[in-house]
Amino acid sequence: MPTLAEDRAITAAAKVDPDTVLLTPAQLDQLVPLRRVLGRPRSPNRKLLLAIRYSPDVVRYFRFTGAGWQSRMDGVLRRYVARRTRGA
């Protein structure tokens, strides 16, 4: 972060630069941090990050199915849980 003196110098230089476009307060209010814009939107169904061990042949099978293999594995496990809890 610039010091107060550096910030003032940057602002003064920007004000005399003919290519500078100063933002209005309304425009400044609409700005959001870049980290909120980049990446995938947050899912309402948040998942937990775990360290878990699976049999190599199970992992190999799901990886062989291509991109999204972890989501497919999650789907299989969800269906299993749904079947097991229906009778409960």
* R_g of the chain computed on alpha carbons: 26
Q: DSSP H helical segments within 1-88, as ranges?
A: 4-16, 25-30, 34-37, 56-64, 69-86
Name the region of 39 (left: φ>0; alpha: ψ -120 to 50; beta: rest). Answer: left
pLDDT band at 26 (very low <50, low <70, confident <90, very high): very high
pLDDT band at 87 (very low <50, low <70, confident <90, very high): low
pLDDT of residue 53: 95
Look up the pTM and report it: 0.49
Tokens of 59: 């992992």
Summarised one tens digit per residue, pLDDT across range 27-73 is 999 988 877 677 777 788 888 889 999 999 999 999 999 999 999 99
pLDDT band at 88 (very low <50, low <70, confident <90, very high): low
pLDDT of residue 70: 93
pLDDT of residue 17: 93
